[in-house]
Amino acid sequence: MEPPPLSDLIGVWVSVACTLFLLSFLYRDNPLYKVGENLFVGVSMGYYAIRYYYDTIHPKLTMELWNGTDRWMIVPAIMTVLLFMRFIKPLAWTSRYAYAALMGIVSGLAIPRFVTSNLMTPMSATVKPLLTVSGDSTVPMYPAIIILIGVVTVLTYFFYSIEHKGPVKWLATAGIYFLMVSFGTSFGLTVMGRVSLLIGRCDDLIMYAGGRYFYATPILLAGTALVLLLWDRHDSRKQAAKA
């Protein structure tokens, strides 16, 4: 099989090195991990800054103003400048206008839509299956009853206007059990997600271990292990000298 172009090869070696450097944290905090961490933060920041400029600010603001195609773009341009006024103490107060406009626009856009999509529709969907005779519902009858009981008991648990005594206490306790099931599910899914990411990295490391990529994984793994060993010895000597 033909070797990949040099630029791809460099990318593969850098990606393998960064993966191993970051995973080396599992052994203990070390200089290689710090290199990987700082590289990741720096490259991400640089990449996103460039993308935001060339994909948004340049075509939608600078060019529009420069060509005079949309003179109204002067308003967001001024607002953007005002946002940065926070860094100049005597003019910091002017940034409040930009924040006020931003908050107002986002709230106006979000609140009515959020209430409809995240409150009214799910509420109606919680009750609807119980009232549907034809069975035209995504949720069959008996899980729908469990969902309804879950909603009522969890809401009771978070209702503090009356003391949790007698039947209210039973309902609130049932609510805690529903919450525990929910947290357990979320935790299980989080573990699944994290393991999936590990599988992704391992898959890449195995793919780049062959001759096509000049044995990037075994060479860099051996290098990382050697550096960790040397650093470990150096660190223990330093600790011993201190003691």
Partner 1 sequence: MLDRLLKLDRRWIFLCIAVATALPLIFPFSLVRVEVTDPTRGIFDTIDTLPAGSVILFSNDYDPGSAAELRPMTLAILRHAFHRKQRVVVMTLWPGGLALTQDILQQMTVEFPHLRKNEDWAFLGYNAGQQAAIANMVRNLTETYPKDRDGMDTASLPILVKADGRKIESLKDFAYVVSISAGDPGLEQWVIYGQGESGCLLGGGSTAVSITQYLSYFQAKQMNGLLGGLRGGAEYERLLKDKYGTEVKNAEGKGSVGVQVLSVDHFLIIAFILFSNVIYFASKLRTAASTGAER
Q: Name the amino acid, one letter, at 180.
A: M
Determine the distance from the C-alpha atom of residue 99 to the mean position of all C-alpha atoms in its chain, rounded to a whole number: 24
Which residues between 172 and 231 bind partner 1 (CB under 8 A)? 182, 185-186, 189-193, 195-203, 205-206
Residue 218: how many other CB atoms lie within 10 Å? 13
Which is nearer to partner 1, 38 or 117 (by Cβ)?
Answer: 117
Report whether 144 contacts 137 (CB < 8 A).
yes
CA distance 139 to 130: 9
User: By C-alpha distance, which of 53, 16, 45 is closest to 224?
Assistant: 16
Which is nearer to partner 1, 38 or 121 (by Cβ)?
Answer: 121
Report whether 22 contacts 204 (CB < 8 A).
no
Residue 196: how many other CB atoms lie within 10 Å? 9
Cβ 217 to partner 1 shortest distance, Å: 10
- Tally the C-alpha atoms within 13 A of residue 47's C-alpha that lie toward its C-beta: 6
Among 93, 114, 159, 170, contact with partner 1 (rule: CB under 8 A) = 114
147 makes contact with partner 1 (CB under 8 A): yes
Cβ 89 to partner 1 shortest distance, Å: 30
Among 121, 132, 173, 236, contact with partner 1 (rule: CB under 8 A) = 121
60 makes contact with partner 1 (CB under 8 A): yes
3-state helix, strand, coil in the chain (%, to 5): 85, 0, 15
Which is nearer to partner 1, 91 or 115 (by Cβ)?
Answer: 115
Which residues between 14 and 53 bind partner 1 (CB under 8 A)? 26-27, 44, 47-48, 51-52
117 makes contact with partner 1 (CB under 8 A): yes
Report whether 58 contacts 50 (CB < 8 A).
no
Cβ 51 to partner 1 shortest distance, Å: 4
What six digits make up the tokens of 175?
A: 């609510």
Among 22, 65, 77, 125, contact with partner 1 (rule: CB under 8 A) = 125
Among 81, 110, 180, 225, contact with partner 1 (rule: CB under 8 A) = 110
130 makes contact with partner 1 (CB under 8 A): no
**All residues at 6 or more sequence positions from 63 whose CB lies less than 8 Å from its CB, including other chains:** 69
Which is nearer to partner 1, 53 or 93 (by Cβ)?
Answer: 53
Which positions lie near partner 1, rule CB under 8 A?
Answer: 26-27, 44, 47-48, 51-52, 55-56, 59-60, 109-110, 113-114, 116-118, 121-122, 124-125, 138-139, 147, 182, 185-186, 189-193, 195-203, 205-206
